[in-house]
Amino acid sequence: MMMSKEYNNVSVYEHIVTFCRSDDDGNELLNDDGSVKTFTAPSLDFVSYAYDMVQVSDLEEELQ
């Protein structure tokens, strides 16, 4: 008899928050291939910082 696995427990091992940058018109900064350029803010601790406190200077481009 095949048993069905139920995944009812939730564990968080790593949470990665990514950001994108946009101009005043809402146009996102793009990579050369046209995809949205994403950034991380590895020096920030998101347990103690709110997302609205993130500054452009906090961001580092993600390597694809």
Q: To the nearest whole number, what is the mean pLDDT of the chain?
A: 75
Q: Which string of DSSP letters, residue by residue, matches 13-54? A: S-----EE-B-TT-PBPB-TTSSBPEEE-TT--TTTS-GGG-
Task: Report the Cα 61 to chain-centroid distance in Å.
Answer: 11
Query: In terms of pTM, does the model score above 0.85?
Result: no
pLDDT for the residue 13: 47
Q: Is pLDDT of 29 > 80? A: yes
Q: Residue 13 falls within a domain, yes or no?
A: no
Token pair recorded at residue 34: 């046209």
What phi and psi, each to the nearest 5 degrees, are found at residue 42?
Answer: -65, -20
Share of the chain above pLDDT 90, in %: 27
What is the C-alpha end-to-end distance of the chain, expressed in Å?
43
The tally of domains found in the chain comes to 1
Q: Residue 35 falls within a domain, yes or no?
A: yes
> Residue 35: which domain range?
21-64
